[in-house]
Amino acid sequence: MAISVGSAVPDFALKDQSQKEVKLSDYRGKKRVVLVFYPLDWSPVCTNEHACFVNDMKRFEGLDAQVLGVSVDSVWSHKAFAEKMGINYPLLADFQPRGATASQYGVYLADKGITGRAVAIVDRDGMIAWFRQYDIPVVPDVDEVAKALASVN
């Protein structure tokens, strides 16, 4: 079952494309977080989705938010993908156990072995302030995400 607005976020510690451990709780009290759950590096829709976030990154930084991408890909896949796409925000490897973090958020598709497509905005208090799931072939509207973020404490 997916998480809901107003609920506390499940914490996690995952490695990013630089093999650095990133904990969601490290942002508590400091920044809002935009969690971008996506199926797979290199797929056409995910590539377009990340291109949108890369192109709009200054907007998210201006809103004092940290973008974190999460998928079941390995650290090494994330590293190559980030380098190719010019991604400077962390891409987190929900790799072992596969999909464990996405499962906590209700977005892991066990039958397909991939993360579903969803965006969650976490406020500075560690609560879900906004959450939306998308069909796999749909690129999330980054403008909609930024507008939702602007209304969060």
Residues marked active site are found at 46
The span from the first CA to the last CA of the chain, in angstroms, equals 26
Are the C-beta atoms of 140 and 67 separated by less than 8 Å? no
Smallest Cα–Cα separation from 27: which of 127, 98, 108, 106?
127
In what helix (H) or strand (E) does residue 109 lie, and over which residues does it extend?
Answer: strand 108-109
Strands 32-37 and 65-71: what pairing?
parallel
The identity of residue 55, as a single letter, is N
